[in-house]
Amino acid sequence: MLFLWGVVGCVAFYFHVTFDPAQSSTATAWDRAYHRALPGWFIYDYAVAVAAALLGSMAMLRRSRWANILYIVSLAAVIVQFGYVFAFTPLVAAKGIGAAAFPLFIAGVGVFQIWLAGLATRRGWIL
């Protein structure tokens, strides 16, 4: 399931990178301004978050301890990504507190991944 979660994250990243708010008929003026205002490093951080999660899941399937560090890198990138969004953009003011629900779920999955990799290491499931 975590491997599929990683694939879904990569697909979401692809849609984020290829989304052009100027060409979208459903994008609002706020959506366009928000998308333009994201700093250049944001996309790289997003890429690290999803790639590390996917590679961590692949490492788990291969029974490799690399899963531990990859999941930690992924969660760190998620914290940077959403930390920036919530601290330096008016997302919550514009969209409401409900805008935090899915990012919190994503962070929760990241914590679960780290916990599971640690458990697998302690029990000798991964080497």
- pTM of the prediction? 0.90
* Percent share of the chain, pLDDT over 90: 72
User: CA nearest 126: which of 54, 80, 61, 69?
Assistant: 61
Residue 58 burial (CB count, 10 A): 16
Mind listing the pLDDT tens digit for each residue in 35-76?
Answer: 888 899 999 999 999 999 999 999 999 999 999 999 999 999
Q: Which of 23-37, 53-67, 110-124 has the lowest mean pLDDT?
A: 23-37
Q: What is the pLDDT of residue 48?
A: 98
DSSP string, 36-73: HHS-HHHHHHHHHHHHHHHHHHHHHHTT-THHHHHHHH
pLDDT greater than 90 at residue 122: yes
Mind listing the pLDDT tens digit for each residue in 86-107?
Answer: 999 888 888 889 989 999 999 9
- With beta carbons less than 8 A apart as the criterion, state whether 66 and 56 touch: yes
